[in-house]
Chains A and B, each alone.
Chain A
Amino acid sequence: MFDIQTQLFESQDVRLGPIDYDKDPEIESRWTHDSEFMRLMETGPARPMSAAIVKKQYEKLEKQIEEDKNLYHFMIRARTDDRLIGKAVIQWIEWTNGNGMLRLGIGAADDRRKGYGTQALQMLLRFAFAELNLYRVTAIVAEYNEGAIALLHKFGFVQEVCRRKSLERDGRRWDLYIFGLLNEEWQQARRQP
């Protein structure tokens, strides 16, 4: 029997949950006004978005999830009060090849460096490898995103590709790194305490 008691979506301080259409748009709109966050999270141009626009995007996203069936989207919430603190996503899943891409972000600056990202990533990887049964998970990160790079290394991701000068920001060009983690590597790391 596998470990069915350990909850997939609950960790010490955070949980993964669905979108809350009443409360989340306001908070996510605030994140989009933080250009630092946007440039860590997206390669597209940063732009502030109103709560109403964010809400529309949620609707579009949920429609896409229903139609394409290759995307899983979670909100990261604090366990104490269900407050929204980030997002965790597995997207671009190729079912026949057993691969997918992960995206994760902690929205507010105050919530960073508290271990929330680590706990969320731990749950997201278990979901990807033990629930979706993916063989590998990919992450793409800009060279200036030191926090993300450190987090991926911590979980045993291997830096596989350096896409030289693929991004232009602040008047210079930056490399994009592609990281990968295989199911067997994740299993092995999990067995070692």
Chain B
Amino acid sequence: MRDLFRGELVRFTLEEPETRARSEIRWQRDSEFVRLADSDPVMMNSEKKIREWIEKQAENGFKPERYFFNVRTLAEDRLIGFLSLWINLIHREAWVGLGIGEHDFWSKGYGSDMMRLCQQYVFTELGMERLSLGLHEYNPRALRSYEKCGFRLEGRTRRDLMREGRRYDSLWMGILRQEWLQMQSGEAK
């Protein structure tokens, strides 16, 4: 059987609250990172607050609708980011959000490796029919990475983001179980 948590460049982990909070407090100070990842206004939380929030998540246990992974590089064993899944059990659709907080690891294939692991997990472990995501128009790096992973652009909601006085679209992408399976058999040949 395939290793669900190990790709070519990264592996999925779940770190202790202190470790996570230490990284996240650094990442959230990086407004470029936050503005690429989110459409809400950038805000700052204390390390204590972030830790409490993570601990509360852990106390509530694991919900079948929610999955969270930290991401470490295989080569340096460095904590570089996270990947988050929201699952709709009724319609068997998963939504993914991911981020690489460490700038040094951008544009080097780490994101695509994370996404391939995520697709494998969503379709072979969670049994989903569809994997969805949204991104901002001003994030072409992410768009290229997702296209490379087989996602199709399904449309754009026009000008729903406002940044520095200008309006931008949101892009919506999806990949179906069948499409992913076909991709896999293509790669195997």
Query: Chain B nearest CB: distance from A90 CB in Å?
Result: 14
* B157 in contact with A160 (CB, 8 Å): yes
Answer yes or no: A153 CB below 8 A from chain B CBs: no
* B90 in contact with A44 (CB, 8 Å): yes
* A166 in contact with B93 (CB, 8 Å): yes
Of the four ranges (under 10, 10 to 19, 20 to 34, 35 or more), the interface on chain B belongs to 20 to 34
B41 — nearest CB in chain A belongs to which residue?
A96
B158-178 contacts to A, CB under 8 A, are 158-162, 167, 172, 174, 176
Identify whether the interface residues of A are mostly helix, strand, loop, or mixed. Answer: strand
Answer yes or no: B72 CB below 8 A from chain A CBs: no
* A178 in contact with B159 (CB, 8 Å): no
With A96-B40, A164-B174, A166-B174: A43-B158 Cβ-Cβ less than 8 Å? no
Query: Chain B nearest CB: distance from A12 CB in Å?
Result: 32
Instruction: Report how far A147 CA is from B162 CA in the complex, Å.
Output: 32
Answer yes or no: B154 CB below 8 A from chain A CBs: yes
B134 — nearest CB in chain A belongs to which residue?
A161
* A97 in contact with B157 (CB, 8 Å): no
What chain A residues lie within 8 Å of B93 (beta carbons)?
166
Of the four ranges (under 10, 10 to 19, 20 to 34, 35 or more), the interface on chain A belongs to 20 to 34
B39-94 contacts to A, CB under 8 A, are 39-41, 90-93
**Contact with B160, one of A136, A162, A164, A166 (Cβ below 8 angstroms):** A136
Instruction: Report how far A167 CA is from B176 CA in the complex, Å.
Output: 12
What chain B residues lie within 8 Å of A178 (beta carbons)?
155, 157, 172
What chain B residues lie within 8 Å of A162 (beta carbons)?
154-155
Answer yes or no: B23 CB below 8 A from chain A CBs: no
* A138 in contact with B157 (CB, 8 Å): yes
Q: List 11 A-B contacts (CB under 8 A).
A: A43-B91, A97-B161, A158-B158, A160-B156, A164-B154, A165-B130, A165-B176, A166-B91, A166-B93, A166-B174, A168-B92
Q: A94-B39, A163-B132, A178-B157 are in contact. List 8 more A-B contacts (CB 8 A).
A: A97-B160, A136-B157, A164-B130, A165-B176, A167-B91, A178-B155, A180-B157, A182-B158
10 closest Cβ contacts across the A-B interface?
A: A161-B155, A99-B160, A161-B172, A160-B155, A97-B162, A168-B91, A96-B41, A160-B157, A167-B91, A97-B161
Binding site for A on B (CB under 8 A): 39-41, 90-93, 129-130, 132, 152, 154-162, 167, 172, 174, 176
